[in-house]
Structure 1
């Protein structure tokens, strides 16, 4: 199985559009409307992937999910993609190990490059 992009964003229309964009760039994509829905799914630990994650979501926000994944020793790289990224959130995300922190809207080329770069990082490579 190839690497999977796990997209977590509460905005349905944005999530749908981004799924199409990423699939068009030859990524396998699994999309979730919330952090809790993502956490409900069991994923094999040996499958390479990347999480593309919004910061501000109802319930568990993106930074809290990042913290929980780190506590679970997840090796999935996280790329934050948010419309509400302030300097404090960016600093916290990157300081906690996020592979990147991008602001919406983002160009396809920048996002695809960030995902490829994150998946190629030795710590994360499947």
Structure 2
């Protein structure tokens, strides 16, 4: 059985009729949908699958506000894009949600097309994020394949030091540095110093450098 790779939209709203209406809307354009009456139900579902997804969330919910739930997801490391549904009186709260990373907010009642446009935008952003995360994971795996000495060399090479200077720093011969440099560039999949510097800078936050 093949896995359904169509986009997945989560809806969290305590209004059952609105949940069902949104579910029908998203299914009508070929999206998968999962409906929840509360944030706790969404959390009980477990981890989100690898495909692109987004969360359509009511800003006023019983027990916990949508804004509080947004903060809770961020603390859990869940980077799913969020679109808020809001009443007219909740606009200031929605602006705070946007500043905290929400993709959009729609004032009820909203047009179906406005919701579909917002979800399409959120899914595109999630796809880009997942692609970037995958590329970073690949670069990290390449870095982790380097020997301890090669890691020392890459750290010095990317600061702009010449082979002779690196040799002096490490107490080895210049030819040894050249060999390590060649090996590490091959492992990292780069041909130029500029490429190596760009990759190493991208990895710094992940490596804690």
What is the TM-score with the length of structure 1 in the denominator? Answer: 0.91
Match of 1:46 among 43, 50, 62: 50
Matches within 5 A, 1:47-126: 47-121=51-125, 122-123=128-129
Q: Distance in 1 between matches of 2:46 and 2:102?
A: 22
Q: Which runs of 5+ in 2 are unaligned?
A: 134-209
Q: Which runs of 4+ in 1 moved over 4 A?
A: none
Conserved 8 A contact 2:6-2:32:
yes
Q: Distance in 1 between matches of 2:63 and 2:40?
A: 8
Conserved 8 A contact 2:13-2:58:
yes
Match of 2:40 among 36, 40, 55: 36
Q: Which runs of 5+ in 1 are unaligned?
A: none
**Higher alpha-carbon deviation: 16-25 or 42-51:** 42-51
SS of 2:43 mapped into structure 1 = helix
What is the TM-score with the length of structure 2 in the denominator? Answer: 0.56
More strand by share: 1
CA RMSD of aligned residues (A): 1.7
Residues matched between the structures, number: 126
Larger Rg: 2
